[in-house]
Amino acid sequence: MKKDIHPKYYKKAAVKCGCGNQFTVGSTKEKLEIEVCGACHPFFTGKEKLLDTAGRVEKFKTRAAKAKKK
């Protein structure tokens, strides 16, 4: 490896999440602030919600029902 071209590596970089969870990781930055972590992400907590934008689910269901009738 060439000297003086790589960023400094912090073995215990502090990570702070928006939910209040704190942990340490290895990083090239000493402190990290994130919005979502594994403790508060809906996929990992089981609180995942289906967002229905502009009634797309209902539109699909009506088209599927019409297709079944034919």
Here the tokens at position 50 are 């289906």
CA distance 44 to 26: 22
5 is in an annotated binding site: no
The residues with which 33 forms a beta bridge, in sequence order, are: 16
23 is in an annotated binding site: no
17 is in an annotated binding site: yes
CA distance 57 to 51: 9
Name residue 21's amino acid. Answer: N
37 is in an annotated binding site: yes
Q: Which residues are annotated as a binding site?
A: 17, 19, 37, 40
Q: Which residues are annotated as a binding site for Zn(2+)?
A: 17, 19, 37, 40
